[in-house]
Amino acid sequence: MGSSPSKATHPSQPEPYQQEKRSYAAQELSRSVADLHLSTPLSADGALSFTNVDAWEDVVAQSPKLQLARTILNHSNIRETLTSRSARIADSHVFNTELDFKTGPITNQKSSGRCWLFATTNVLRYNIMKKLNLSDFQLSQAYLFFWDKLNKSNYYLELSIQHADLPIDDRLIYHLSDDLISDGGQWDMVVNLLETYGVVPQPVYPESLHSSLSSPVNTLLKTKLREHALILRDLSASLRANTALSEEAVLGALRSKKEELLKEVYIVISATLGVPPRAEENFTWDYYDKEGKSGSWTGTPREFYKAFAYDKYSPTDSFSLINDPRNAYGKLYTVDKLGNIWGGRPVLYVNTEIENLKQAVVKQIKAGQPVFFGCDVGQFSDRNAGVMDTGLFEYEATFDIQFGLTKADRLRTNESSMTHAMVISGVHLDAHGRPVRYKVENSWGADPGDKGYFVMSDAWFEQFVYQVVIPRALAPKELVKVYDAGEKLVLPPWDPMGSLA
């Protein structure tokens, strides 16, 4: 955090990366270049003409399949109509390797972008429910959401102070003021929250309307925070014009003004979400266990976290493996200016081959540990059926097209990035121990999929899973060494690896 952006170096590209470069897109480019020597455009000036349309109509006229597609698809939903029957059959909700304990209920983030907090609390409740013999339980996602939102507001204003000398239209300033207090987050950001504020059961700090419907509050807060940033920029210029003031005095005055401005943010958040318990403030939680026996616990949020939320594998001792074929494998990456708690743990990723992410999942499931992961959930997926499969829709066969983008290409062209975090709680292995499909616990309620659970094919995992969190005790030793070395390459703030699930 606070490091200046730099371009990641590539001392040696991994073989999978080289293979991806020899993709369909590259082959198509070669063919196109060759064809340019043999043909001339129908439109010499580059504008579309009816000559182009006539040529394309000739193609359709010679294809009964494309004519049938026109007949059917102008009044049908293409996703429903072109769903592959064979894919739906293959993607059964049956798994031969699952966690030995099932949690519940299925959670619902509703109209908010809190998937990372739901995924985290769904991982943590596994240990809590086992230790306390509970039949159903939820941690308060709203509690973590409150402290995250307040800290992100502070983080943005600190960055505004830090870069007050940059022009208002500088790319960094523009980027920072875009989605400045996103509902989303990353693993290291939630670790910051857990270690600082702990956790509480949901009855202690329940959902409010606007924890489940965050857009109206976000809109209000963004308007005020952008105004606050301009106030701090103007104050910075005024203070620095006084040469008698030291840099320490200037920074102190700016932070004093920032705290005054943050009072408005706190008032809005506490009114719409509720006032949460303090990290060191005692609360009492009464509950029933599986047998209907009542229990009661009194302590602080941090004490509850330390006592129940993990057993062998602490969130602090877990880190992110990513698969980013654009960049060198076996390296540690961070994203400049990305975080939530100022001065907290930075967002760090160890980039590695996709097979290492798969094996990390299998190893954790066999060890009885649910898996936090980040992916691009909207790609080739059916929300209602709860299926994620690259072969789910018959687009290529229907339209005579071919998808040529590789995983690296999608990242380079803004086609894909991490958009959603969920939990893997099972895997189906073939006779050789290789993953075939994965059981995914989502946070969209119990209606989608198989009572809230999704199935993810191995092919989809390869293309659209970007992150798997693993305890260091279960991670490959060579990747732990990369993480511990701390020699990180800094990606710019707008890099797709900076997207918040």
Q: Which residues pair with 9 in a beta bridge?
A: none
Please say if 242 is a catalytic residue.
no
List phi, psi (to 5°) of 287.
-155, 165
Note whether 79 and 88 are within 8 A (CB): no
Q: Which of 108, 327, 340, 442 is catalytic?
A: 442
Q: Which two tokens stand for residue 246?
A: 């030291």
The alpha carbon of 202 is separated from its chain's Cα centroid by a whole number of angstroms, namely 23
Give CA–CA dist 491/480, Å, rounded: 21
Q: Which of 210, 218, 340, 420 is catalytic?
A: 420
Note whether 437 and 91 are within 8 A (CB): yes
Please say if 127 is a catalytic residue.
no
| Residue found under tokens 């809109």 | 219
Cα of first residue to Cα of last residue in the chain, in angstroms, is 19
Query: What 3-state DSSP class applies to 384?
Result: coil
Q: Which of 108, 115, 327, 375 is catalytic?
A: 115
**Among candidates 168, 153, 317, 134, which has minimal Cα distance to 237?**
168
Note whether 119 and 185 are within 8 A (CB): no
Residue type, 166: L
Q: How far is CA 470 from CA 29, 37, 192, 378, 501, in A?
A: 39, 52, 17, 24, 17
Note whether 410 and 452 are within 8 A (CB): no
List phi, psi (to 5°) of 452.
95, -10
Report the interhelical angle of 187-197 vs 115-132 (nearest 10°): 50
DSSP secondary structure, 430-454, as one string:
-TTS-EEEEEEE-SB-SSSTBTTEE
Q: Which residues pair with 98 in a beta bridge?
A: 426
Strands (E), 361-487: 371-375, 381-382, 387-388, 420-429, 435-441, 453-457, 465-471
| Residue found under tokens 């230790």 | 131
Please say if 420 is a catalytic residue.
yes
Q: Which two tokens stand for residue 40?
A: 């001339």
* DSSP code for 95: -
Catalytically active residues, by annotation: 115, 420, 442
